[in-house]
Chains A and B, each alone.
Chain A
Amino acid sequence: MSIHVKSMDVKDIIKKENLVYKKSPLMTDNVLSYCPGCGHGTVHNIIAEVIEELGIQSQTIAVAPVGCSVLAYEFVDIDWLQAAHGRAPAVATGLKRVMPDKYIFTYQGDGDLAAIGTGETIHACNRGEHITIIFINNGIYGMTGGQMAPTTLAGMVSSTSPYGRDVSTMGNPMKITELVAQLPGTYYVTRQAVHKPSNVRKTKRAIRKAFENQTLKKGVSLVEVVSNCNSGWKMSPVKSNKWMEENMFSFYPLGDIKVDGELVK
């Protein structure tokens, strides 16, 4: 269709045949329970789009964590299980072994995957289960009120480290993604973000690859998404994304860490 630019009204553009983007039909109409500007919603939509594009809605089973995304089954229209805190990789292991042809993925935050579930995560990755792990890292326990997590940066203020994380008494922040990349059971390990359109596109490619890897049966694919927690960090959404760029990315650099079973970083 070709019309002269001056004569064009917005009403002429907003027509069914000109639609180029809307939220994935796999996203339900329930209003997301996340705070304004939270990266969880963006990642949910990416996962829904990938599942829709691969046409695996009826073959996908997700395992929800404990944390803000505990209600994820309300928002993405696929089969979900909800695991005990941190146990999502163990539950996913069982599911994948019983139903090896299904696409099984866990969706976990840093409090779930890198704190209480460290053991399950490391051992699932070491066993090389053919599952996908989506790991949202915002450096804080978001749901319970912004307490310090293992992933909290050195010097970062949280509600339980009000003067900043002092590594001499509170320990160092943990890069669990780099840690599991060293294990022989992981096949694809990458770290992405969703604060900018370009990063959203990269994250989508990474998550798509992580899902496609399941058919190869070569081990765990883990996609870490560095995200914001504007409520926990006590910032506006835009400001928290800027803060994340300036502070989080120097410690949690974006990019692939392990591709096709080979360390690239």
Chain B
Amino acid sequence: MDRWVHPAIFYFIGALLLPFFKGKAKKGFILLIPLLSIIDVALMHEGIFGTYEFLNVSVTFGRVDKLSLVFAWVFTIMAFLGALYALHVKEDGHHIAGFFYVGSSLGALFSGDYLSLFIFWEIMAFSSVFLVWYRKKKRSIDAGFRYLLMHIFGGLCFLAGMMFYYYKTGGLAFERILPEGAGLAEYLILAGFSLNAAVLPLHAWLPDAYPEATVEGAVFMCAFTTKTAVYVLARGFPGFEILAILGTAMTVYGVFYAVIENDMRRVLAYHIISQVGYMVAGVGIGTEMAVNGACAHAFAHILYKALLFMGAGAVLYMTGTAKLSKLGGLYKYMPLTMICYVVGAVSISGFPLFSGFVSKSMVVASAHESGRIGLLLFMNLAGIGTFLSVGLKVTYFAFFSKEPAIEVKEPPKNMLWSMGLTSALCFIIGIYPQSLYALLPYPVHYHPYTLSHLAETLQILSFTGLVFFLLVGKLAPEDKINLDVDYFYRKGTWLFMKFDEKVISVVDAIWGELYRTLGLSFLFKNAEISNTIDRKVIDGIVDGSATTVRGIGSIVKRLQTGRIQAYIGFSLFIFFIILWIFLGRT
């Protein structure tokens, strides 16, 4: 096929047409759109498509190569599974937000320049936030706003970096950046990308927002935002040492919180940080094998993490809570959900025969191969924590431990089908890794099923299991929340409001009083004197210019709309004009 059709188009048009369908036709339409995009990706050839000149910048919408294709495959497959899982959702807006979200992630994948990437990047943030807001609870609305503000911050870092980059290189092509030549521009872009990848310390939006999203929305969210970020990091920043270190730190940081968290979906959200850590570390190590590992792990991770969120979502949907302290004994009522969840759990833990075993180990082995033993040990420590918290703790306290408190049923059929299909994919990748390796950007010379790798993995996992059962009493979930770095902006705002209430308003009141008593009498006296001077001297001069001033005044009046967003938008506009002028001169 010589003509290239952007897969995002299906989603954008689908989102607009969706409200016109009713009943069964609507359900069919929701599944048809991802299917069409999968076929589109299957028919794609490598090449550069859709290049336009825009404002003296060349914009490319279709850079198709092995790196973008492997992500496009898993994104479209995931979109289908997610749509199937969300089929029972009544609100059109929820599906439309999902479509815009998937479409814009696909747009970001195929972008060949920073400008189009930035536009899709922003659509992603603004569409995904609705998947949080549709939960319609106060906690979700608040978490959604924090999510949006953090992403706007990340977007502005990216935008500023992009502008500096333009003045440095004269173009906006999105190519690989070498660590030696990187300056302020590149690091600002890196910061913007890192925020979406939840790299420490820019990660707190993720465990804050995802557990507050709708049951179905969380399944979408866990797949696209962080993995688009992994893709752009793999494209632009392989070999950046800081990513290798921060990525490894993420792997351990995530499991640390997962061990103490009580909310099932928050445990899983912290595990996104941990698993994305492996990918970021892989990108940071930067060898062909490591970047392959990062892509393979992103592929496998999207599927098993979605599966885990589907399982936890099904529990939340049927029981009304995801708190481990309130759950227990669900194996009696939801055995199918439990099996699917366990498949996800053994996949993420990297059990032989399941997807995590063949993907995570590529990153770990690349650390081994490049002699990064420190990184390797921390990654394996995170592997212990992964099995401990997702595999053992959540499974035990949600599906076993005490007797069931509430009698529930299995979730709706579409949810079960979606979980079943995803489980099958996790298993197929595990037993037939070549199917995944064939899609990777570089040729693969790695074999996961060796005697020593099996011995290493089984020892780590089995003895983790042993310690878990010895210390299970210590791990009993508590109905608490745990502080993370979002403390600083959440308490910070609260402190500012208190400061405003207690200090600023008091000073304001005193000042007002002072002005009324002292200032006014002074002004009256002053006015009398000025009045005399005014009448005698100035009248004549001023009369002429008064008309001009009145003219300007009316313009200013129109600008003062009193809307805070207009002011912020206007300030940003002015800021960038000043930046433009300033950089244009030097």
- Is B a genuine binding partner of A? no
Residues of A in contact with B (beta carbons under 8 Å apart)? none
